[in-house]
Amino acid sequence: MTALARPATAIDCARHDRGIARIATDCLKLEIATYPKPGLVSPVDTGAHDDMDAAMMDRSADALEPFFARLAEAGAAGAGMDRLRAIGIEAEVAMMAATGGVNTHRGAIFGMGLLCAAAGFRAAYRASGTLGDIVAHRWGAEICRGPVALHSHGSTVARRHATGGARAEAATGFPSLYDIALPALAEARLVTAEDEARRVHALMTLIVGVEDTNLLYRGGTEGLAFAQSHARAFLAYGSIATPDWRARAVAMHAAFTARRLSPGGCADLLAMALFVEASGA
């Protein structure tokens, strides 16, 4: 990341903050709308989830939009991780109010929120480098040192399976976005102009390449291995380039749902990759 240039004006930043938040919210909704996704909520069904549906998740995304704007504003102001974390806690409260206490987007608040803060910083200071670079350079050390939610699914899995999870992903600049998801989206564009198919391909690629803490929490190492082997087979058979790809993805969705497996971490990463793609970095 290069040295900072002259900051943008306050008016420019305010407009950009709202635009960043709108893109982030739209990308969350694009992930929700995608079908078929193995075990995940969509407008077609609730997958492996009994406590949420697509309408609830859309309400959750809408509730988060003003907080994404505040995170972008905080990033533009050069805020530290303590300030970003405080806004994220407020966003969780708003999410819970919108969903009646259901955790629909806690992981996205963390990951997408950091990307919004990085986008705000980049807009204010004309900073170069990817959004992931900015997150790692500006807040990576603070992310590693920050408090751990002892009873969250992610921290439980991290203790049980010795995985870094979302915290390590963010602190290192989101390598799963830049090394897995974004190349998969670009690869799929060579095959089809159908955006939904591109998203399915990217999600399957993420399932293969990421130790999803949601899969580990729900199914342990066996559940993760089951999910990754099925996603790997989907890709090996031709992914979205074959005429029957949708039927194969629907069958995979049914298999995940029957085992109560849901790659929620990969779903968050998909939405975040769409945000990075739309943001051009």
pLDDT value at residue 250: 98
In tens digits, the chain (281 residues) has pLDDT values of: 433 443 444 545 566 899 999 999 999 999 999 999 999 999 999 999 999 999 999 999 999 999 999 999 999 999 999 999 999 999 999 999 999 999 999 999 999 999 999 999 999 998 889 999 999 999 999 999 877 554 455 444 443 444 557 899 999 999 999 999 999 999 999 999 999 999 999 999 999 999 999 999 999 999 999 999 999 999 999 999 999 999 999 999 999 999 999 999 999 999 999 999 999 87
Q: Which among 142, 254, 150, 272 has a CA at the least distance from the CA of 210?
A: 272
Structure tokens at 32: 């929700």
pLDDT value at residue 87: 98
pTM, to two decimals: 0.91
CA distance 137 to 37: 33
Which pLDDT tens digit goes with each residue over 220-234?
999 999 999 999 999
pLDDT value at residue 168: 92
Measure Cα distances from 209 to 35, 42, 122, 156, 235 in Å. Answer: 20, 22, 29, 21, 12
Domain locations along the chain: 10-279
